């Protein structure tokens, strides 16, 4: 347990998909003049350096956000508004006209969108990443608006449902390092829907050759359908996974030189229950551009399905 460090993966294609969609959801939810509560069950360290030792070991951001930023700088593409919004937000966390090297994880991205009446509770269990996140939040001077809880997001979070304003978002982004994560995600969302049926549920999942990974979005669909909720399932695959070259996260590689060679994640998805009605149309052109710019072989594709 606890081998996973998001610093190896920051700014990869999965972050591009997840953070673009998350920002679009937040933009919608902060349009109404009622406060929202965001619960981030697996927050990570919060702030990463794309030129840091971990990120350079895997070089995943080269084939993710850095490729998009390069295309933006070269004016190769007119980006879809949600993608443009995400790339522009990254620039605000870096000195003007300097390369984007500071990369915000989900809690910082959420924090950047909060209005005075909104709240964020971010859960992170890894001792080092929890300490890093708490330090970053303290330095930002967020006061009581952002609370870092260095505890188990799966078991602690549902006691905060429903939030006082009855408007809220659960961001659930585990590493799936433990096989039990898949079942815990389903339990968390099921309990959430019981206690807070109108909440928005945002779940990231890997697209890998594993039965429980494959089943997770299907089970979330069934759960949402049974609860009579709208859902949106979006996915981005950048390359095919071959059986002989299965995904292995770089931090699990035995030797540092294996870290890049072992492959990297072929794809990932985000499943949203009670999504903004605008999200599907906003994400379609963004996903087309992600495939065009980040796709690595003929297997590159996106999915965008809803009920």
> How far is residue 40's CA from residue 168's CA, in Å, rounded to a whole number?
11
42 lies in the binding site for ligand SAM (CB under 6 A): yes
> How far is residue 159's CA from residue 195's CA, in Å, rounded to a whole number?
9
124 lies in the binding site for ligand SAM (CB under 6 A): yes
The whole-angstrom distance between residue 187's C-alpha and the CA centroid of its chain comes to 19
Q: Which of 37, 175, 237, 274 binds ligand SAM (CB under 6 A)?
A: 175
**CB neighbourhood size of 258 (10 A):** 13
3-state secondary structure 199-257: CEEEEEEEECCCHHHHHHHHHHHHHHHHCCCCEEEEEEECCCCCCCCCCCCHHHCCCCC
12 lies in the binding site for ligand SAM (CB under 6 A): no
Task: Report the residue closest to ligand SAM, judged by CB.
Answer: 105
Distances (CA, A) of 242 to 208, 247, 299: 10, 9, 11
> How far is residue 262's CA from residue 60's CA, in Å, rounded to a whole number?
12
Scanning 26-34, 124-132, 195-203, 285-293 for contacts with ligand SAM by CB under 6 A, the matching segment is 124-132
Q: Which of 125, 132, 203, 213 binds ligand SAM (CB under 6 A)?
A: 125
State the catalytic residue, choosing from 40, 129, 173, 233: 173
Q: Which residues contact 234 (CB under 8 A, 6 or more apart)?
A: 17, 21, 269, 270, 271, 272, 283, 287, 302, 303, 304, 305
271 lies in the binding site for ligand SAM (CB under 6 A): no
121 lies in the binding site for ligand SAM (CB under 6 A): no
Q: Which is nearer to ligand SAM, 53 or 74 (CB)?
A: 53
Bridge partner residues of 48 (DSSP): 103
Q: Is 118 a catalytic residue?
A: no
Do the Cβ atoms of 230 and 275 come closer than 8 Å? yes
Least distance (Å) from ligand SAM to the CB of residue 49?
13
Scanning 39-47, 185-193, 254-262, 266-274 for contacts with ligand SAM by CB under 6 A, the matching segment is 39-47
Query: Per CB under 6 A, which of residues 43..102 are in contact with ligand SAM?
Result: 43-44
Q: Which residues contact 122 (CB under 8 A, 6 or more apart)?
A: 40, 43, 46, 106, 107, 110, 133, 137, 146, 147, 148, 149
Q: Which is nearer to ligand SAM, 172 or 238 (CB)?
A: 172
Q: Which two tokens stand for residue 50?
A: 């794309």
> How far is residue 106's CA from residue 90's CA, in Å, rounded to a whole number?
12
Least distance (Å) from ligand SAM to the CB of residue 5?
7
Scanning 67-75, 173-181, 257-265, 283-291 for contacts with ligand SAM by CB under 6 A, the matching segment is 173-181
Scanning 147-155, 185-193, 271-279, 282-290 for contacts with ligand SAM by CB under 6 A, the matching segment is 147-155
Q: Which of 118, 129, 233, 251 binds ligand SAM (CB under 6 A)?
A: 129
| Total chain residues near ligand SAM (CB under 6 A) | 19
Q: Which of 8, 86, 123, 271 binds ligand SAM (CB under 6 A)?
A: 123
Catalogue the active-site residues: 173
> Which positions touch ligand SAM (CB under 6 A)?
4, 6, 18, 42-44, 105-106, 123-126, 129, 152-154, 173-175
């Amino acid at each position: 347990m606890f081998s996973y460090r998001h610093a190896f993966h920051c700014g990869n294609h999965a972050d591009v998909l997840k953070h673009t969609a998350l920002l679009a959801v937040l933009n919608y939810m902060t349009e109404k003049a009622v406060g929202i509560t965001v619960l981030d069950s697996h927050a990570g360290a919060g702030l990463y350096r794309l030129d840091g030792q971990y990120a350079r070991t895997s070089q995943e951001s080269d084939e993710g956000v850095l490729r998009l930023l390069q295309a933006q700088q070269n004016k190769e593409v007119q980006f879809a508004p949600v993608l443009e919004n995400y790339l522009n937000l990254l620039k605000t966390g870096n000195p003007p006209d300097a390369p984007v090297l500071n990369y915000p994880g989900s809690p910082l991205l959420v924090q950047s969108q909060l209005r005075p009446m909104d709240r964020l509770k971010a859960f992170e269990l890894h001792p080092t990443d929890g300490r890093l996140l708490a330090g970053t939040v303290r330095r930002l001077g967020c006061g009581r608006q952002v609370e870092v809880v260095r505890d188990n997001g799966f078991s602690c979070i549902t006691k905060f449902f429903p939030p006082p304003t009855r408007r809220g978002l659960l961001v659930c982004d585990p590493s799936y390092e433990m096989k039990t994560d898949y079942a815990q995600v389903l339990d968390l969302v099921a309990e959430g829907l019981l206690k807070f049926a109108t909440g928005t549920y945002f779940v990231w999942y890997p697209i890998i050759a594993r039965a429980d990974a494959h089943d997770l979005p299907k089970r979330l669909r069934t759960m949402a359908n049974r609860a009579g909720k709208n859902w949106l399932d979006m996915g981005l695959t950048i390359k095919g996974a071959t059986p002989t070259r299965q995904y292995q996260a770089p931090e699990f590689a035995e030797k540092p030189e294996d870290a890049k060679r072992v492959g990297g994640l072929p794809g990932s998805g985000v499943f949203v229950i009670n999504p903004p009605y605008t999200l599907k149309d906003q994400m379609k052109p963004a996903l087309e551009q992600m495939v065009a710019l980040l796709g690595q072989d003929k297997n590159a594709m996106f999915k965008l399905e809803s009920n």
